[in-house]
A and B are shown apart, each in its own frame.
Chain A
Amino acid sequence: LSYDPNSKLLQLSEASEDVDMNLKQINKLTQDLIAESNPNFTPQPRDDSTAMIKKLFETGLKQVQQQKLPEALKSINLAIEMSQRKRATWEAFAVQLQELQFMLKNRVDLSLIQGKFMDALEDLELLHNTGLNSSDVFIRKTDGLMKLKQYEQAQVEVERGLSLDPSNAKLKALHLENSRRLADYNG
């Protein structure tokens, strides 16, 4: 492992893929910390970034109310991009995650309404991976998969949703409907 005091970066000549990724992460953090001009920085998310992101997001919500759905989607996309770009790597993860999850939930619904099922599914997948296990996620996932004719996958999702929330009426209805479609799919 070699350290260059001028660039302040670590290097390993024959790093495997994973070690290389770890090194990249450390170097990025180092560079971000050095680039920070404010001497009193804290893990608290910066107010100016929060304000920008919030503004973009609220624009999107307004556009939804005005039924300008494609524009709303664009605004929310921008808001999300901003959060990904402007937030520093040392800022509180919990805050960044919650912010992203909140915005993604809205993006999912917008995508579903506009028939962009693949987009919605990938956002839902991320929400799932980051710990959001509520029935809403399962309902939307099942719906999206059914619309894309992935009935076997939809069955998996709806069954998992039901095992976490056995009395959910919507999930039960989706289960019934998907079973029917699955039977037809198999002749």
Chain B
Amino acid sequence: QSYDYDEGSETWPFFLLTVLCVILVPLTVKQIWDMLSSSDAETEAQEQKSQLGMLSEAYTADEIHAFRAKYVSKKSKWAAKRNLFIIAGWTLVAYLVQHIGSNDAIRDAATTLFDPYSLLNISTSSTEREIRSAYRKLSIKFHPDKLPKELTAEERTTMEEQYVMITKAYKSLTEEITRENYLRYGHPDGPQATSHGIALPKFLVDSSVSSLVVLGYVGLLGFILPFLVSRWWSKTQSMTKKGIHVKSASYFSDRLFNFKPSQVVTMDLLINWISHAQEFKVMYPALHQETFEKLIHDHINRENSGDLQNEKFRIVAKSHVLLFGLLDIATTFRNLEISNMAIDTLKAIVQATPLSPYSQILQLPNVDAERFINGSVDDIRTLGKLFTYEDKKISKILGIDDEDKLQETLTVASNIPFLKLIRAEFKVPGETIVTPQSTPHISLKVLVRSAKHKFFGPTKIPDEMCREKQDFDSLRDPFASIQDQPKLPQSFAPFFPAKRSGCWCALVVLQKDGKVIQTPMLVDRLSFTNLKNDLDKRTVSDLEKDFNPEDWCIGTIKIPYSQPAPEEKGDYFFRVIVKSTEYFGPDLDFTVTMSVRE
């Protein structure tokens, strides 16, 4: 009926210590893990630190740098708070440990614990022999008859007590009944007095403060906890696997489901769809769909949005995720036109360049669009074509008079990675041909090259360079070798609000019906070392002399094929489209045959 309260502060420090450790230990572990893995990513990025990344930073407007700082600082504020909490928490833990250590009541309770090993002065892993010999030695020392006569009565009593303890210790390790008692109750004499109580000081439970405590508990269990859980649950439920809001996904699905062939697929149409996203409504409840649409168009046309500049940056940054979500949904509806246009729209947003036959050129910095389009006599639409002219001529074509600016533009142009297809085939791991009902994947060998490089055919790369090692690991998981390639470096995108490295999206289309057969595969690992190679098409005249295949690194892209090979023998044709999300130009679009044979 009446409880013992923790007047001597014996138990509540342990309770508090446990609660703190439960929170702090996982948090600290996570923090350390994050710190280590972010440094990992940094070292990876160091490997492929590109000129484009540095130029991109140089060309980025101050406005955008300020915007990024605000968002990075938001993240770091959050991290700082977490760090502070961890430090404060561990300080409290240290204080509690010290408090427990210095608390006499606890110490007394601890010392009354019966430890036969320490009494006999032996280690916990001693054998019976060692126990017996230790006992014999100590009993000789402490036996009442063997005690020296000079001792005082007090000292004698202490020694006698000690002797009793030593005997008990020995018995608890050797004798049956005593040992059982010790194991069961922790003391050879059987169950000791135990007390049950509440691990809180009396004043918290008995006096007026107790009502506050009760209120605190009610608040925590009845309101705060359900609130947090329901908020977390609704947040999880409201996002799809691809990271877009469920309402946005359902809007896109609706548009695609009701899509009519008489509608023309244009970038404007997709931007209109994106502007209906729930994410924007949540971010800026006061603004309308038409505003969001206009902001995105402003960004693509590099126009200032006045008061809404910051809003524009956030909208543009979010549109990245939305377009990927739309792409995913479009591929599940097997619609190729919309899938392609989604990626093209992303390019337009990343480069802030509208879709036009001249986008490849207009994505470059410092280009005078008017002089370019009205000026040049030859119709230049590709970077490859641009690099057939001398630097001086290029400066006239692009309308760049400043020599430094021209060099920077040429650096950007020559560092944009173009993909050249070397080999493409359907492969079944461990087999030489594709057999019916097997599981093939599409294996592409590509060469990352610059628009400046002289063209050489795929036959110039010998088969040995394209061959892959056929060991057990590669048979078990043919996609593991992709991980050996470095991650993509930072792209040149000075108008995009966030730093990005982008990727290539690989779509697979069945030629028979012209529809997409599976969701896109994202390629984010390729080596760009070839871009540094010196094979300028304007200076190289003799390919035989200047070209050495060994200087070139062959990249591998492996696309999984989502179905088993058909049962019937024959040739099946697939169109593979590999589109870059970052730049206009470095795309691949070709047909590959699946020859199914017995």
A: residues with CB less than 8 A from B are 17-18, 129, 149, 152, 155-156, 159-160, 162-164, 166, 183, 185-187
Interface string of B364-390 (1 = CB under 8 A from A): 000000000000000101111111100
Q: How far is the CB of B222 from chain A (nearest CB, A)?
A: 42
Q: How far is the CB of B358 from chain A (nearest CB, A)?
A: 12
Partner of B451 from the list A18, A160, A166, A187 (CB cut-off 8 Å) is A187
Q: How far is the CB of A115 from chain B (nearest CB, A)?
A: 19
Residues of chain B in range 462-507 having any CB-CB distance to chain A below 8 Å: none
- On whether the beta carbons of A185 and B385 are closer than 8 Å, the reply is yes
Partner of A187 from the list B258, B385, B589 (CB cut-off 8 Å) is B385
Interface membership of B590, Cβ < 8 A = yes
A186-B382 CB under 8 A given contacts A156-B589, A159-B591? yes
Q: Interface size (B, Cβ < 8 Å)?
A: 24
CA distance in complex: A163, B575 (Å) = 10
B575: chain A residues at CB < 8 Å are 156, 159-160, 163
- On whether the beta carbons of B387 and A187 are closer than 8 Å, the reply is yes
Q: How far is the CB of A25 from chain B (nearest CB, A)?
A: 12
Partner of B511 from the list A160, A185, A186 (CB cut-off 8 Å) is A160
A166: chain B residues at CB < 8 Å are 571
> Shortest 7 CB-CB distances between A and B: which pairs?
A163-B573, A187-B384, A186-B384, A187-B385, A163-B511, A18-B258, A159-B591
Q: How far is the CB of B341 from chain A (nearest CB, A)?
A: 14
Interface membership of B455, Cβ < 8 A = yes
A162-B384 CB under 8 A given contacts A156-B575, A187-B451, A187-B537? no
Interface membership of B285, Cβ < 8 A = no
- On whether the beta carbons of B382 and A185 are closer than 8 Å, the reply is yes
- On whether the beta carbons of A164 and B511 are closer than 8 Å, the reply is yes
Interface membership of B191, Cβ < 8 A = no
Interface membership of B196, Cβ < 8 A = no
B593: chain A residues at CB < 8 Å are 163
Closest to A126 in B: B261
| Apart from the given pairs A160-B591, A186-B384, A187-B382, 14 other A-B contacts in the complex at a CB distance below 8 Å | A18-B258, A152-B589, A155-B589, A156-B575, A156-B589, A159-B511, A159-B590, A163-B573, A163-B593, A183-B455, A185-B382, A185-B384, A187-B388, A187-B537
CA distance in complex: A163, B570 (Å) = 12
Closest to B385 in A: A187
Interface string of B226-258 (1 = CB under 8 A from A): 000000000000000000000000000000001
Closest to A19 in B: B258
CA distance in complex: A163, B574 (Å) = 8
- On whether the beta carbons of B537 and A185 are closer than 8 Å, the reply is no
CA distance in complex: A17, B387 (Å) = 49
- On whether the beta carbons of A185 and B571 are closer than 8 Å, the reply is no
Interface membership of B101, Cβ < 8 A = no
CA distance in complex: A149, B385 (Å) = 14
B381: chain A residues at CB < 8 Å are 185
Interface membership of B512, Cβ < 8 A = yes
CA distance in complex: A17, B388 (Å) = 50
Q: How far is the CB of B503 from chain A (nearest CB, A)?
A: 21
CA distance in complex: A17, B384 (Å) = 45
Interface membership of B514, Cβ < 8 A = yes
B571: chain A residues at CB < 8 Å are 166
Residues of chain B in range 417-454 having any CB-CB distance to chain A below 8 Å: 451
Partner of A164 from the list B261, B379, B385, B512 (CB cut-off 8 Å) is B512
A17: chain B residues at CB < 8 Å are 258
Closest to B451 in A: A187
B451: chain A residues at CB < 8 Å are 187
Residues of chain B in range 544-593 having any CB-CB distance to chain A below 8 Å: 571, 573, 575, 589-591, 593
A160: chain B residues at CB < 8 Å are 511, 514, 575, 591
A129: chain B residues at CB < 8 Å are 261
- On whether the beta carbons of A186 and B385 are closer than 8 Å, the reply is yes
CA distance in complex: A159, B512 (Å) = 11
Q: How far is the CB of B233 from chain A (nearest CB, A)?
A: 30
Closest to A182 in B: B382
A149: chain B residues at CB < 8 Å are 379
Closest to B591 in A: A159
Q: How far is the CB of A2 from chain B (nearest CB, A)?
A: 22
CA distance in complex: A159, B387 (Å) = 28
Interface string of B247-283 (1 = CB under 8 A from A): 0000000000010010000000000000000000000
Q: List 27 A-B contacts (CB under 8 A).
A: A17-B258, A18-B258, A149-B379, A152-B589, A155-B589, A156-B575, A159-B511, A159-B575, A159-B590, A159-B591, A160-B514, A160-B575, A160-B591, A162-B591, A163-B512, A163-B575, A163-B593, A164-B511, A164-B512, A164-B573, A185-B384, A186-B382, A186-B384, A186-B385, A187-B383, A187-B384, A187-B388
CA distance in complex: A175, B430 (Å) = 34
Residues of chain B in range 302-317 having any CB-CB distance to chain A below 8 Å: none
